[in-house]
Amino acid sequence: MLLSAFVCPGVGQFVQRRWRAGALFLLTFAAAFVVFMGVAGSLIISYYRMGFEFETYEPDIHPGRLLPAFIAALAIYVANLVDVAAAHFRAGRKMAPEGSRV
């Protein structure tokens, strides 16, 4: 189950049949990823415009604009992994017989 959480946030929760949590992680990560790719795309376009219109173009290139979107996507990804692992261990403890160590 934890391996499926590495593939895409939300998939690990879907495997555990936790549909709401899976949808929440999947949608929030997708939104953060789209924002990140949008900012990255605008930076790439600015670099190309600077190369083609070097005499008239005033560049607005600040790679630091990527940082908030990257941190948001990374935080959602890590929270997804922690959630899947915690749910997996909680389910393992419920199923373990008395006196056994999990």
Parts of the chain with a pLDDT under 50: 102
Q: Spell out the domain ranges in the chain.
A: 2-95
Residue 97: what residue type? P
Structure confidence at residue 53 (pLDDT): 79
Distance CA 77, CA 89 (A): 19
Predicted pLDDT of residue 30: 93
Look up the pTM and report it: 0.75
Rounded Cα–Cα distance for residues 59 and 31 (Å)? 27
Residue 25, classified by CB atoms within 10 Å of its CB into exposed (0-12), middle (13-18) or buried (19+), is buried
- The single residue listed with the structure tokens 């992680």 is 25
